[in-house]
């Protein structure tokens, strides 16, 4: 037996039809010789981009097994469609499943739900960015402390002028 993982996406607008869609996917896999394993994860998330006018979706991941080529009971002369091809085709034709992915689960970790922490939505009105053209106050330059001037006599000033002017 070969183990596979199936991840499929259902739009949020079809959440009320989720039991029917889930049973359709199960029937499709079972009718092609697959058997589902016990763990299943389901998570409702916002998608990175719209898929068929849906912004949010429900991601469902399940593991199932299919018999190897050697385990098939069919004669060699018959042309038989591989079960994965049949499952693939049925899910592609389904209007309820937005996206799906089937991969071999040989080197995948155990299937379990990922713990997520919901972050509060940021307030966009007074957020990080200012309106275009907003006036911001200019930063003030640091002011050096004033040096106190020593009293200078007229004689000292005359002496300094003579040195500078070479008179």
pTM over the 0.85 mark:
no
More confident of the two residues 151 and 87 = 87
The answer as to whether 33 is a domain residue is yes
**How many residues are present in the chain?**
167
**Furthest-apart CA atoms within the chain: distance in Å:** 124
pLDDT tens string 28-86:
999 999 999 888 899 999 999 999 999 999 999 999 999 887 666 555 546 778 899 99
DSSP code string of 124-136: STTSSSPPTT---
The answer as to whether 138 is a domain residue is no
The answer as to whether 145 is a domain residue is no
The answer as to whether 164 is a domain residue is no
The answer as to whether 81 is a domain residue is yes
The answer as to whether 69 is a domain residue is yes
The answer as to whether 94 is a domain residue is yes
The answer as to whether 20 is a domain residue is yes
What was the pLDDT predicted at 142? 80
CATH of the domain at 11: 3.30.70.60
What residue numbers bound the domain in which 36 lies? 2-104
The chain-wide mean pLDDT, for the chain, equals 83
What percent of the chain is predicted at pLDDT more than 70? 82
Task: Determine the Cα angle at 110 with ends 109 and 111, to 5°.
Answer: 115
Domains in the chain, number: 1
């Amino acid at each position: 037996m070969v183990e596979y993982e199936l991840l499929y996406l259902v739009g949020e607008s079809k959440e009320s039809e989720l039991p029917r869609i889930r049973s359709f996917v199960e029937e499709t896999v079972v009718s092609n010789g697959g058997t589902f394993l016990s763990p299943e994860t389901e998570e409702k998330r916002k998608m990175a981009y719209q898929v068929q006018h849906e912004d949010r979706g429900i991601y469902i991941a399940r593991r199932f097994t299919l018999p190897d080529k050697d385990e098939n009971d069919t004669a060699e002369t018959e042309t038989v469609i591989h079960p994965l091809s049949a499952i693939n085709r049925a899910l592609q034709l389904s209007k309820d499943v937005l996206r799906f992915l089937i991969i071999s689960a040989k080197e995948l970790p155990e299937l379990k739900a990922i713990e997520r922490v919901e972050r509060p939505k940021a307030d966009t009105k007074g957020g990080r960015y200012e309106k275009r053209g907003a006036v911001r106050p200019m930063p003030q330059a640091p002011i050096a402390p004033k040096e106190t001037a020593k009293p200078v006599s007229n004689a000292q000033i005359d002496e300094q002028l003579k040195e500078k002017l070479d008179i």
